Structure 1
Amino acid sequence: MLHNPPERGFAEAEFAARTQKAQALMLAQGLDGLLLLSEPEVRYFSGFHTLFWQSPTRPWFLFVPATGKPIAVIPEIGAALMRQTWIDDIRSWNAPAPQDDGISLLQDLLAPLAQRRGRLGVLTGHETAWRMPLADWQRLLTSLPGLDLADATGLVQGLRMVKSEAEIAKLSHICAIGSATFAKVPELIAQGMPLEEAFRAFRCAGLAQGADDLPYLVGGAGPGGYVDVISPPGPRRLQEGDILMLDTGASWDGYFCDFDRNFAIGSADDVARRAYDVLWRATEAGLAAARPGNSICDLFQAMQRVIAEMAPQGGDIGRLGHGLGMQLTEQPSIAAFEHSPLKPGMVLTLEPSLGYGDGLIMVHEENIVITDQGARLLSQRAAPELPVI
């Protein structure tokens, strides 16, 4: 297990700074409040961290006013935990209550905004979701006819894309745990082992290294390569000449690592070795391009140019990386359509991929943080040549 992890949780000043930044942007955009309905956003502004979100039964709400602290409107089962955060105003009800699951409390909270025809920001864009029934939302709006809704997706996602030093410390720690776990793969995995057992061994090793959880572990294995990267593992045994890929999203204190490693079982053919080399060099190009002054698109193109040596049309994954933080994947997507600038504090995955042979693919992934000087690796860099077990 790794020693000297950062402190769990955050100081109250962290949440105060996040809220004040949001309120400054709200003022500039003419918003009188934000209503947040999904786990990462509620946690980002409150510190409310629980696995209870995995139950779909109850909705949870957090309101960020134009000034002052956020206000929680949550089921009573979460009130004791919310009182441990910096939130003072907690309004709760006994849930589930299908006839009134917090709606009357929200009506009371938002009525002053509606009466003065205030603008309420909600997240309606890409990679957003609402944890409440559509019928309840429609009923709420009907009861507040003066409320003016506005999309606040860019505001909130823009804040979350740039991490604080305290967030980066947590991300660095979980990436170190992920790296230490991958370093043990040659001890854990051998020819003849069922793929599902290899996955189980890796997950246990990650927990032993200090991860809180490994909720995401995918990959694949097959002769000369793999055909997809999201299927659950099966009983097929690893064989001579297989290429094995493991991609882990381990978490610590609510923050994720997300990177993969490729291994050859016994031996590797020349095509697989070449694919690995191209992706390793594409990642090097991405590392060089990942600096302030460049755009996300510049980063994408730098990796794509190297991938084109072997796969002129590129891979079929759809993007070459993404943001990373409280969620396994966050904004932005590293793609040709994304022209926003790279900023210090962004934590990203570099994830070049390509297709080769008869329907085979290969994916390589590293985790980085953007600094004033350029990219800094959070994951330990993969070997420059395809490792053989």
Structure 2
Amino acid sequence: MDVPTYSTAERERRWSIAREIMAAEGVQALVAYGEHECADLAPFAPDAYFTNDRPGSIVIFCGDADPIQLTWSTLPVADHIQARRRGETLWIPPERMLVAKNAAGVVEVLRQHGLERAAIGVLGLDPYPPFHINPIMPHGLWSQVLTELPDATFRGVGLSYLFATICQSDEELAVVRHSAATGDLMAEAMVAAARPGATEADVYAAGMAAAFRRGVAAPDMLLSSGPGFVSWGPPVWSYRPQAPRTLRDGDVIMAEVFCRYGMKETQHQVAIAIGAPHPDIERGAEVARASYEAGLAAARPGNAFADVVAAMQGPLSAADAWNVHPLVHTLNPMGPVCGFGDGLRNLPEAGRYGRLFEVPTMGGELPLAPGMTFAFEPNAVIGDRIVNLGGTVVIGEDEAVELNPYTAQLLRSPA
């Protein structure tokens, strides 16, 4: 299979970015904490960005020296050995890998480089929306580092990392396109599986299988079905012991598919009508499509993320609709995100719940630039029925580039 890969030039570009962040922040070292491996949605993985390897480590840049990788166990080392035996190109040499993803390991590396009193930048001390509204750095690990190095100065550099890495290189965009093409194949397989008598699990399995055959990780999928609903999340049978729902004529399936290839993520909003859906579904699809087109028109250099959000909110406001989840957010890395959930309080059942508040738009001031990737996921609730569609969009030199026009519409499977 002919697939895009990363070159050593991409490695040097990324390591230069680390040093540019250090220079801009006035720090002498950079500590990049990575979320544990097998994380599903929106993983916090700056470690993998700098290693092109198995996620779940801590990567430390000390001055101009090449980075050091601290792994959580011997398993990543065993993988590294096996990859070297196969002749694969690796970014981190064996001499710069330590089984020491802990406070003692971080302190040891910084002390060895004479950085006990230095200013040190840290990735992991800033929020990483939408899933990590609070910093992801473990309290136990970091409090011990602070105790061991009382004369060092640590500061979060998450915003610098976001701005430095959000515009994808040509090699990265090739990886993104491969993932996006896989998402279309997943959607096609799901449409083929969506028929009366099949189950939600059948549709889920068909989509996942299409990704796995391409060697692309599909870490999760949000999916609901029925004649209409306002819920949004993973299928309930994935976390609650109950049977997957059986599909019927007149149902709709609303899904969000996540693809990840080379640690670059694309997202795909799959809406499937089985037979003739309720009129509110048809109307919701029109509103969501209008929101999508408005966002495309606004997604160009010279505008800010807030301009895209405002453009996409316009058709919903005109239709007296609301959005259950974000209309748009950044990808690779995730960060700025459109607000959502403001209509939930109007549901008749809402009064029985405790504190309810919508999530506000975050990062609206982000200026758009070529190479940025976004999840366009316009969704509109008409009555008690949500319609969700869209896909991954890249900011081009002059205008937005659609990678998934196939899923930017209501798909139909004959009953």
TM-score computed with the length of structure 1 as normaliser: 0.85
Aligned-partner Cα distance in 1 for 2:291–2:166: 23
Could you say which residue in structure 2 is the equivalent of 1:108?
A: 108
The aligned residue for residue 39 of structure 2 is none
Q: Which one of 72, 75, 78 corresponds to residue 76 of structure 2?
A: 78
Q: Equivalent of 1:299, from 305, 308, 311?
A: 308
Matched residues in 2 for 1:361 and 1:226: separation? Answer: 5
The C-alpha deviation readout for 1:151-207, integer Å capped at 9, x for no partner, is 111111222311111111011011111112322334322112122222122222333
The CA distance in 2 between the partners of 1:62 and 1:384, in whole Å, is 42
Report the equivalent of 1:120: 120
- The within-5 A match list for 1:268-307 is 268-307=277-316
Structure 1 unaligned regions, length at least 5: 54-59, 96-100
The correspondence for 2:22, drawn from 23, 26, 44, is: 26
Is 2:406 the partner of 1:381? yes
Compute the displacement of 1:296 (Å): 0.3
Tell me the SS of whatever aligns to 1:159: helix
Match of residue 324, structure 1, among 307, 310, 331: 331
- CA change 1:148–1:274 in 2 (3 A) is same
CA distance in 1, matches of 2:8, 2:76: 19
Secondary structure class of the residue paired with 1:258: strand
Q: CA 1:382/1:91 → structure 2, altered by over 3 Å: closer, same or farther?
A: closer
Letter matched to residue 316 of structure 1: V
Do the aligned partners of residues 61 and 219 (structure 1) sit closer, same or farther apart at CA in structure 2, a change above 3 Å counting?
A: same
Which of 183, 196, 202 aligns to 1:178? It is: 183
Instruction: Give the match's secondary structure for 2:259.
Output: strand
Alignment of 1:224-263 (within 5 A): 224-225=228-229, 227-233=231-237, 234-263=243-272
Structure 1 residue 80, shift from structure 2 partner: 4.9
Residue 358 of structure 2 is matched in structure 1 by none
Q: How many residues align structurally?
A: 363
Work out whether 1:187 is the aligned partner of 2:177: no
For the residues of structure 2 that align with 1:226 and 1:387, how far apart are their CA atoms?
20
Report the Cα distance in structure 2 between the residues aligned to 1:119 and 1:381, rounded to whole angstroms: 49
> 2:61 matched to 1:64?
yes
Instruction: Specify the SS of the correspondent of 1:332.
Output: coil
Cα pair distance change 1:155/1:274, threshold 3 Å: same
> Would the aligned equivalents of 2:186 and 2:210 in 1 still touch at CA under 8 Å?
yes
| Alpha-carbon spacing, 1:140–1:353, altered in 2? closer, same or farther (3 Å) | same
CA shift for structure 1 position 292: 0.4
* Conserved 8 A contact 1:276-1:386: no
| Structure 1 residue 346 corresponds to structure 2 residue 346 | no
After TM superposition, the structure 1 stretch with the greater mean CA deviation from structure 2, 335-344 or 101-110, is 101-110
Task: Report the Cα distance in structure 2 between the residues aligned to 1:90 and 1:296, rounded to whole angstroms.
Answer: 39
The percentage of aligned residue pairs carrying the same residue is 25
Q: Which runs of 5+ in 2 are unaligned?
A: 36-44, 85-89, 238-242, 340-360
Q: Determine the C-alpha separation between the residues in 1 that align with 2:26 and 2:205.
A: 51
Is 1:205 the counterpart of 2:213? The answer is: no
SS at match of 1:237: coil
SS in 2 for 1:339: coil
Provide the secondary structure at the position in 2 that maps to 1:323.
strand
Indicate the residue corresponding to 1:370 in structure 2.
Answer: 395
Query: Per-residue deviation at 1:132?
Result: 6.8
Amino acid across the alignment from 1:212: V
Deviates more, 1:196-205 or 1:79-88: 79-88
Question: 1: distance between equivalents of 2:64 and 2:338?
Answer: 34
Deviation at 1:291, TM superposition (A): 0.4
Matched, 1:266 2:275: yes
Partner of 2:42: none
TM-score (norm 2): 0.80
Q: CA offset at residue 237 of structure 1?
A: 1.3
Summarize the Cα distance change of 1:133–1:381 in structure 2 as closer, same or farther, 3 Å threshold: closer
